[in-house]
Amino acid sequence: MNKKIFIGLTIALCVIFSFTFCFAADNGNGFEKATNDVRNFVGGVENTVEDAAKDVSNASKDVTGDMENGLNRNTNRATTGMTNGNNGGYTSTRTSTATDNTVMGMSSTAWTWLILGIAAIAIIAVVWYYSMQFTNNTTRNDE
């Protein structure tokens, strides 16, 4: 049995050392080719990820740019409509309240204070009326 193992190992070593091919020194076809293949694969993946990130970035820039352009257009339309009179003659000074708006010689502010004063007097009168009912408890004895 030992003789068979010894002969097998000898034949295996002779076969291994009988070839002159060396993978590392194969004029750039061995490890160098494998290294270049791995480098190219990793570079391709890197480029794919970089391009995807650029696409996402460009898409978000396009969306925000479109929103900004739309808002600028609306602002310009509103501004030119106000200044050029294209909005039916509407101006912001048209809606302002003037101080000469009076009813029976009193301004709207005076009317507001008058109504608030009357409401306060009415509330005080109601509270006083109900509080007087609790203090005027007289017992009547009709027997």
Average confidence (pLDDT) over 63-92: 71
Q: Per the domain annotation, does 143 fall within a domain?
A: no
- Distance CA(114)–CA(112), nearest Å, equals 5
Residues 23 and 92 in one domain: yes
What does the pLDDT average to over 68-88? 71
Range of the structural domain that residue 126 is part of: 99-135
Q: What is the pTM of this model?
A: 0.32
14 and 26 co-located in one domain: yes
Q: Looking at residues 113-118, what average pLDDT do you find? A: 93
The verdict on residue 141 lying in a domain is no
The structural domain count of the chain equals 2
Whether residues 105 and 81 fall in one domain: no
- Does residue 89 sit in the same domain as residue 104? no
**Token pair of 122 as six digits:** 């009415």
Q: What is the model's pLDDT at position 137?
A: 61
Q: Which stretch of 35-39, 103-107, 134-138 has the lowest confidence by average pLDDT?
A: 134-138
